[in-house]
Amino acid sequence: MENVLLINLDDILHYTSVSGSIDELKILPHVLNAQILYIEPILGSSLYEKMLTLVDSGTTSGDYLTLLNNYITPSLVFHTMELYIPLNAFQIADGGVYQFNANNASTSPIDEIEKIANKYRVIGAKYDQKLSDYLCKYSNLYQEYTNNIGLVEKTEVTPRTNWYLGNKYKNNIKY
């Protein structure tokens, strides 16, 4: 099966504040990566392959449509943005790596870009948890989930956030 995407640009525009002028060809590879990195481990290979087959054939309906629209899509949108934002700030070409500089705009520092990507990561992790909870509660609706025989086992969802090691200043004393 060729690269089937579970979401499209309209889904991304619906769930985020991304501009409608975004280049679809630049964001779609991040959709595929987010599917493989975040969605397949939650679903397990069997249910993931079933969802790809249903979407590819245009026959997604019933409980599978509910799963796709209410749980997979929001998670996938936010993880796509998490991957897209830091990498979109740069272009890789034959001559090297370039940073875009739009007319009448200034580029954001890399730490600001990472903060924005982290916000999407946190939101995506919350939707991952909702997806996982739904599948556990309604596992009887998805035979592929309960009888996973695929290569990727279902995994426990854990929040993916940066570490906070505390403030280096305590009582105005620097550590």
pLDDT tens, 80-102? 999 998 877 666 667 766 666 66
- The Cα–Cα gap between 109 and 113 comes to 6
When divided into structural domains, the chain yields a total of: 1
Considering only the C-alpha atoms of the chain, give the largest distance between any 2 of them, rounded to a whole number of Å.
63
Determine the 3-state secondary structure of 93 from DSSP: strand
The confidence score (pLDDT) of residue 36 equals 94
Q: Check pLDDT > 90 for residue 10.
A: yes
Domain range enclosing 22: 9-174
- Contact between 120 and 81 under an 8 Å Cβ cutoff? The reply is yes
Residue 103 lies in a domain: yes
Q: What is this structure's pTM?
A: 0.78
Mean pLDDT to the nearest integer, 101-107: 59
The confidence score (pLDDT) of residue 175 equals 44
Alpha helices in the chain (DSSP H): 9-15, 24-34, 40-43, 45-57, 62-67, 73-88, 110-137, 143-146
Residue 22 lies in a domain: yes
Residue 91 lies in a domain: yes
User: In this predicted model, what pLDDT tens digit does every residue of 113-171 receive, in sequence order?
Assistant: 888 889 999 999 999 999 999 999 999 999 999 887 766 665 544 444 555 455 555 55
Mean pLDDT of the chain: 82
Residue 1 lies in a domain: no
Residue 2 lies in a domain: no
Residue 3 lies in a domain: no
Residue 47 lies in a domain: yes
Ranges 45-54, 62-71, 139-148, 152-161: which has the least confidence: 152-161
For the chain, give the percent of residues with pLDDT over 70: 72
Residue 77 lies in a domain: yes
The confidence score (pLDDT) of residue 79 equals 96
Supply the angle between the helices 110-137 and 73-88 in degrees, to the nearest 10.
160
Which region holds residue 58: left if phi is over 0, alpha if psi is between -120 and 50, else beta? left
